[in-house]
Structure 1
Amino acid sequence: MSKPEVPRSPEPPRLTKRATTVPPFDIQDIPAAMRKEMMPVGAKLMDRWFAGELNYSRSEDDQKNEINQDGKPYPDSMYDHGIIKMKWVLGFRRAREQYEDLVNERIYSSKAASAVRQIVARYTSFGRMYLSAWGICRHDIRILHKDFQFQYVTVDGTFEQKAKTALRQSTAHAPDDLTAALGSFVINAAISEIEYDFQKRIGVIEKIVVYVKDSYSFQGELDTTSQYLGHWSRRGVAISAATELANLAGSPWIDFPVVIGPIQTLSNPGKVYYPIRNRDFRQWQRKHNRGGDFIVYSDFNTIRLQRPIVVHF
């Protein structure tokens, strides 16, 4: 007689390995991450951009002329006069060096003299011995910039300057607050006062103002050559040297997130750093119908020249 078969216990269900998912990243987390990276000014400017009404230019020419997507001049709300301070800007060595080059050398160049001559000649019909540019402009720096600006220098604007900054940032693994706030920008010189001698037909400039004007925008291509802004997470930023150099050369580059730490931390939102480009902000604008490109003016330094600028008219 055969023994009855002992029933087998059911096999436990196989455990399926859950796929590790990469958590999504919201670019609105960047200002908080900037503050963690000691970039408070950059964070203020980006907060302003997110809070602003929809405003952007459709082309580089429109951006230069401050014309928005509707073909209209930027509204007054798209001009900021309070966040950027010259004292803060000049605390960065590369900005200080360009500033000193401007006030000690560039304002005396032949190009600057030609621009000053045109401005001086424009106001001879007033018949005044003394002309206050601020008075003419009703103390509006936007008008002063348009009518009396005569020279400028760039900071991080040339390929050489950008390459040096990119190398420094890749070594430090993060940009400084100046780069986060302004990227490449311009320091301007404008006439503050003109003294006329109508007998000698000369104009004398003894006082100028120096200030920063910059466009805070995310203009550019929407492909992989779009301006690279770093790899960001909620905790901060990391710079990919290869991506940065490809961007400088205008070469396309495949974007991918990077993990700081062991691969097991892939599901941790703070450990995954995402490549961010200008196009990400443009896409955010389209999705939310908000986000305002705006013009930044710093306060200004008034300088009395030890060597006045003299031009004939």
Structure 2
Amino acid sequence: MAKVRKVPYYVIERSLLRSPRWRLYKGSAGAVPINTFQTISFDRLPPGSATKADPLLPNVTPGGVRKEKTREEKNNPGSPDRPESATQQKRISLFRQRYIDAEDREKLAIFDLQDIPAAMEKMGWPVAAKAARRWFSGQAHVYNDQPDSEQPLDDSIVSLRWVLGYKAVKSKFDELLRSDIYSEKALALVERKLLERVRDAFQRSQSAKPNLNFETEIINSDLRQFHIDWHFQRKKISTFDTSDWDWMTPTDLTATLGNFLLYVAIGRVEVQGQRYFDYSQNPYRYCMDAEARMTHVYVYLKDNYSFNDKDPANSQYLGHWNKHGMTSSLVMAANELLGQYYPSVKMRLKGGKKEEYRVDWDYLPFPQKPLDKPIDTRRSFLRKFVEMDVYWPVFNRSYNDWRARNDQGEDFMIYSKPELHKLETPITIKLGTLSRPCKAGSPIC
């Protein structure tokens, strides 16, 4: 019997004396890929579900290989437990021939997709676990990839203060407020938004000394509309920024949001200017040469929590998971990291077959095939297939399949509550001449 070739994998190891870091296991310490018809379970009741699903319904799981017995099969004791048709046996034979670099196992300890939030907590990622549970408990909803569209929204999971506790994110935040908001493009957008608001207020007023100062506000708790109306600059935060810089290990923030955007919106504005009558027009007009001074801005983050894939043929890899934590495939970890800044080198997996983009992955010293298989790390002494050693591959499609099965799983928008920040250097913008017509015989327009 041929010896199964082990595959390298990464695991995040923690210590009281140092920050979490990736550790590579390879060679004889590598993991054994597993050939099995068993898949990640979707059988646990969704959160809030009152009744158990009909056990006679097909168990549609990622890959769609295994199904529960039908009523006819259960009523017929003579019905074989294993497929006996020539076509089915040929399919199984081809399946095993294709994956000769793996060990066969019919039954493994059950791992349910809903075990992931608890595993996140064990890894020290409580906020990521909260977001995941929020997704599982919501009604089935798919994000439509339109950033300003109406979507379910949550502003309680993530706070700006928590996000700014990460050094690289705080650095990007400082850069955003010290330089990015003063760019020519940002100032042009501020001018347009301020002029629209101030001009409307001036024209509606009947006072000779209208108070045009204002502070933006969220009306009817509508964060989406506040964002559309008032944001004028943004800053991308990448997975590199949210990871531990020393060892490039994912953090709670990485697991919660991955990439996201910081936004700046108009906050507190003072408006002044010389007021006068213009008698050159009929009727004459009351005018103001307005100048706006923005002293404060609102800052918040915004991201979608969804499992959409840009390319359906390449579902994003989210790690190998079990009830205790996560490992990462060497190929896919490198693929995702490279793709952050060099999308052209990312490879696609189409129908199980890889397609190269500039990089010839065949020359790299590790195999690609086991990426979509469970693996056994065999770190328990002289034992195989121990529950805590077996990790299951999870992709975006795993969550989409779970949603289709359970009619739950709500993609939603994550906002942090906007926080008001005073600018070190206020933004001053000349809005030009505002005017409104005067009524005949009225001393005040």
Interval containing the TM-score (normalised by the shorter chain) = 0.7 to 0.9
Q: 1:130 aligns with which of 213, 231, 236?
A: 213
Q: 1:268 aligns with which of 362, 386, 389?
A: 386
* Matching of residue 250 in structure 1 with residue 333 in structure 2: no
Distance 1:292 1:104, change over 3 A: same
Match of 2:174 in 1: 100
| Preserved contact between residue 376 and residue 385 of structure 2 (Cα < 8 Å) | no
The TM-score with structure 2 as length reference comes to: 0.57
Match of 1:238 in 2: 327
| Whole-Å separation in 1 of the counterparts to 2:212 and 2:394 | 55
5+ long unaligned stretches in structure 1? 1-17, 67-72
* Matching of residue 144 in structure 1 with residue 226 in structure 2: yes
The residue identity in structure 2 corresponding to 1:195 is E
* Matching of residue 177 in structure 1 with residue 252 in structure 2: yes
* Matching of residue 82 in structure 1 with residue 156 in structure 2: yes
| Preserved contact between residue 189 and residue 232 of structure 2 (Cα < 8 Å) | yes
How far off is 1:118 after superposition? 1.2
Distance 1:168 1:251, change over 3 A: farther
| Whole-Å separation in 1 of the counterparts to 2:261 and 2:267 | 18
For residues 120-177 of structure 1, the C-alpha deviation after alignment (integer angstroms, 9 at most, x for no partner) is 1111211142122117x356433221100111111116xxx47x95x969x56x5210
For residues 42-83 of structure 1, the C-alpha deviation after alignment (integer angstroms, 9 at most, x for no partner) is 0000000000011113x423xx233xxxxxx43xxx211211
Say which structure, 1 or 2, has more relative contact order (CA 8 Å, 6+ apart).
Answer: 1
Distance 1:301 1:22, change over 3 A: same
RMSD of equivalent CA atoms: 2.5
Q: 1:113 aligns with which of 163, 187, 190?
A: 187
| Whole-Å separation in 2 of the counterparts to 1:266 and 1:291 | 34
More helix by share: 1
The residue identity in structure 1 corresponding to 2:256 is A
For residues 263-293 of structure 1, the C-alpha deviation after alignment (integer angstroms, 9 at most, x for no partner) is 9644222211122111111111111111001
Match of 2:412 in 1: 294
Distance 1:41 1:21, change over 3 A: same
| Whole-Å separation in 2 of the counterparts to 1:21 and 1:146 | 52
For residues 4-32 of structure 1, the C-alpha deviation after alignment (integer angstroms, 9 at most, x for no partner) is xxxxxxxxxxxxxx956444432111000
Match of 1:4 in 2: none
Question: Match of 1:225, SS?
Answer: coil
Distance 1:25 1:44, change over 3 A: same
| Whole-Å separation in 1 of the counterparts to 2:335 and 2:224 | 36
For residues 231-279 of structure 1, the C-alpha deviation after alignment (integer angstroms, 9 at most, x for no partner) is 1111101122321222424313542222223596442222111221111
| Whole-Å separation in 1 of the counterparts to 2:404 and 2:346 | 25
5+ long unaligned stretches in structure 2? 1-103, 203-210, 275-288, 340-344, 350-368, 432-445
The residue identity in structure 2 corresponding to 1:260 is T
Match of 1:8 in 2: none
| Whole-Å separation in 1 of the counterparts to 2:120 and 2:272 | 53
| Whole-Å separation in 2 of the counterparts to 1:240 and 1:291 | 26
| Whole-Å separation in 2 of the counterparts to 1:215 and 1:185 | 8
**Percent of paired sites with the same residue:** 29
| Whole-Å separation in 1 of the counterparts to 2:259 and 2:164 | 14
The TM-score with structure 1 as length reference comes to: 0.80
Match of 2:148 in 1: 65
| Whole-Å separation in 1 of the counterparts to 2:423 and 2:115 | 45
| Whole-Å separation in 2 of the counterparts to 1:119 and 1:198 | 18
Match of 1:153 in 2: 235
The residue identity in structure 1 corresponding to 2:309 is G
* Matching of residue 32 in structure 1 with residue 118 in structure 2: yes
Aligned length: 276
Question: Match of 2:348, SS?
Answer: coil
| Whole-Å separation in 1 of the counterparts to 2:175 and 2:375 | 40
Match of 2:423 in 1: 305
Question: Match of 1:111, SS?
Answer: helix
How far off is 1:225 after superposition? 2.2
| Whole-Å separation in 1 of the counterparts to 2:391 and 2:303 | 28
Question: Match of 2:293, SS?
Answer: strand
Distance 1:266 1:48, change over 3 A: farther
